[in-house]
Amino acid sequence: MLARFLGRRLLQLVPVLLGVSLIVFLTMHLTPGDPIEHMLGQAGRVTPEQIAELRSHYGLDRPLATQYWLFLRHAASGDLGISYSHQGRPVAEVVAERLPATLELTLFAFVLALAFAIPAGIFAALRPQGLFDRLGTVGALVGISLPGFWLGIVLMITFGLRLHWLPISGRIDLGLAPRTITGMNLVDAALTGDAPAFWSALRHLILPGITMAAPMAAMVMRMLRSSMIGVLEKEYVQFARAKGLPETEVVGKHALRNALIPTVNIVALQTGLLLSGNMIIETVFQYPGLGKLAVDAIAAADYPLVQAVVLIYATSYVLLNLGADVLHVVLDPTVRTAAT
């Protein structure tokens, strides 16, 4: 049953990705800005023949529909084309090089946000309108109103430049990079038992991680708080209390599981936003991930690279929502029958 549900949802991915790729393809090609000119920007004297040759080399002289069709056919076999701005290296290779850095930062921010939001949401719900709840409500509202790029800069000024506690850019201190296994520094350092690399990588993740996590933590906390307040008023919770179960068990087992159901969707949505926010935060912190790669690729009119990155973002967004739906089905037996 779950497998059929999964299969149907995976199939729905196809038209969405086709639509996304078509929109990005058209905007990249129909807006002004010529990649060949960008490439030749510093090259000095070039003849029109050389330009024409480059054009045909990259297939840019063909009709748009042909170009799109070729792009799709190649993409389906994992070939995302050749990057214009990275010395003609395959896009897939350039992307694969940056992906672990972004995954690491996103996962870090994800864990940070939940580690803060879940306990805070529960505590706030236990005493609505209490001191902690009021502080939390104000804090959460500030969290969703903060412009990420500015929060990052303020953290850099405070904890990097004033207090000298943490580094403000990059992924790891020079010369400390661990042996590459997964490409994620924390994981690689842990696997190889490389303590200095681990600490260095961790210290570099803290400021961008907090910047990224702030709005997600705020949203998740608010959602969990309100659904927890609702659940705590339910009869089965009152019943569990009346049975004499300790409060920690009532809240932690009976109430939390049900309060988490609506929260799961917010978490997925927010994780999608984490990804789209990483362009700005990686730019602020000069963090060499996918987001910064995208910003640089756009500036260089590197069509294939931009297309690839957009598709990765869109795919992960759709998959995250799919994941949320699956979790929803697993957590909530009542939708299980409706979904399958």
Partner 1 sequence: MPEALTDDQIVETTAATTPGMFAVLLRNRVAVAAGLVVLAFVAVSVLAPWLAPFDPNLQHPDAIRLPPVWQSGGRAEFLLGTDALGRDLLSRILYGAKVSIGLGVMVVLLTMVVGTGLGMIAGYFGGWFDAAMSRLVDVLLAFPFLIFALAIMAATGPNLTALVLALAFKGWVDFYRVARGDVLSARHADYVTAARGVGAGTAHLLLREILPNIVPPIIVLATLRMATIIISEASLSFLGIGVPPSIPAWGTMVSDGRGDIATAWWIATFPGLAILFLVLAVNLLGEGLRDALDPRMRL
Selected binder of partner 1 within 171, 204, 225, 328 (CB under 8 A): 225
Q: Binding of partner 1 at residue 231 (CB under 8 A)?
A: no
Does the footprint of partner 1 cover residue 95 (CB under 8 A)? no
- Three-class DSSP category at 106: helix
State the minimum distance, in angstroms, from the CB of residue 177 to partner 1: 26
When binding is defined by CB under 8 A, the residue of 156, 197, 217, 264 that contacts partner 1 is: 156
Handedness of CA 89, 91, 92, 93 (dihedral sign): positive
Stretch that binds partner 1, among 44-52, 72-80, 220-228, 234-242 (CB under 8 A): 220-228
* 21: nearest Cα among 11, 10, 29: 29
CA distances in angstroms from 120 to 20, 127, 128, listed in the order given? 37, 11, 12
Binding track, positions 171-210, relative to partner 1; x by CB under 8 A: ----------------------------------------
Select the residue interacting with partner 1 from 304, 317, 328, 329 (CB under 8 A).
317
Strand-pairing partners, residue 82, are 90
The residue (of 187 and 310) whose beta carbon lies closer to partner 1 is 310
Question: What sign for the dihedral angle of Cα 281, 287, 291, 295?
Answer: positive
Cβ–Cβ contacts within 10 Å for residue 118, how many?
20
Residues numbered 297 to 316 that lie near partner 1 (CB under 8 A) are 298-299, 301, 306, 309-310, 313-314
Contact 284, 152 (CB under 8 A): yes
In the set 141, 181, 195, 330, which binds partner 1 (CB under 8 A)?
141
Position among 3, 11, 15, 43 found at the interface with partner 1 (CB under 8 A): 15
Nearest CA-CA partner of 108 in 260, 195, 191, 217: 217
Binding flag, residue 120, partner 1 (CB under 8 A): no
H helix runs in 31-130, sequence order = 35-40, 48-57, 64-76, 91-126
Angle (CA) 74-311-292 rounded to 5° is 115
Smaller CB distance to partner 1: residue 153 or 326? 153
Supply the minimum distance, in Å, between the C-beta of residue 182 and partner 1.
24
8 Å CB contact between 302 and 125 = no
Q: By the criterion CB under 8 A, which residues form the site for partner 1? A: 12, 15-17, 19-20, 23-24, 27-28, 31-33, 141-142, 144-150, 153-154, 156-157, 161, 222-223, 225-226, 275-277, 279-280, 283-284, 294-295, 298-299, 301, 306, 309-310, 313-314, 317-318
